[in-house]
Amino acid sequence: MANSERTFIVIKPDGVQRNLVGEIIKCFEQKGFRLIAMKLIQASEDLLKEHYIDLKHRPFFAGLEKYMQSGPVVAMVWEGPNVTNPVDSKPGTIHGDFSIQVGRNIIHGSDSVESAEKEIGLWFQPEELVDYKNWVYE
């Protein structure tokens, strides 16, 4: 796929507990993005410390880490044109439609191609990324 990039998305515990996994996947599918990896995981303290390393000195870090360990999360890798563009919270977006509070914002998405590469490497082994022909685009 021309101009394709990958992004890392994690559906946080509140999204899993509110049974929104299918709805969130549907949003990415309807945009035409391709799912290339997905797993349900109980994130470890070490994984979360590495994932959120830039936030470790922020006053909310301990609460964020506790929240992210409070239940399973769904980690995914999506591929497509401009897939790392951050979404805003307007109606029709995942945050706009499903988030209840800033601290319970349903998903995390990589904010750049570089961040996506790092985060994908933390959460997935290379052999877990599935490469298959995309029949949507020529």
So which residues are the catalytic ones? 108
Cα atoms found within 13 Å of the Cα of residue 95, Cβ hemisphere only: 15
Whole-angstrom distance, CA of residue 116 vs CA of residue 135: 24
Do residues 12 and 107 lie in contact, with contact meaning Cβ atoms separated by under 8 Å?
yes
Q: How many helices (H) and strands (E) does the chain have?
A: 6, 4
Tokens of 118: 């790092």
Rounded to whole angstroms, the Cα distance separating 12 from 73 reads: 5
